[in-house]
Amino acid sequence: MLSFRHMAQLIEELSVFLPVYNEQENIKTVTLKTQTVLEKIAAKWEIIIVDDGSTDSTRQSALGLVKSDKRIRLISHAENRGYGAALQSGFYNSRYSWIAFIDSDGQFDFSEIDKFIFKQKETGADLVIGYYKKRRVSALKIFTSKIWEFAVWLLFGLKVRDIDCGFKMISSNVIQKIPKLESERGAFISSELLIKAKAAGFKIVEIPVTHFPRTKGKGTGRRLNVIIKSFVDLLKLWRRLK
Q: What is the pLDDT of residue 217?
A: 46
Q: What is the pLDDT of residue 136?
A: 60
The pLDDT tens digits along the chain (242 residues) read 544 444 557 999 999 999 999 999 999 999 999 999 999 999 999 999 999 999 999 999 999 999 999 999 999 999 999 999 999 999 999 999 999 999 998 889 999 999 999 999 999 999 999 998 876 656 777 677 778 778 888 888 888 988 889 999 999 999 999 999 988 876 688 999 999 999 999 999 999 999 876 555 455 555 666 677 777 777 777 777 76
Domains in the chain with CATH codes: 11-241 (3.90.550.10)
Contact of 131 with 165, CB cutoff 8 Å: yes
The pTM for the full model equals 0.86
Q: What is the pLDDT of residue 237?
A: 77
Radius of gyration of the chain (CA): 17
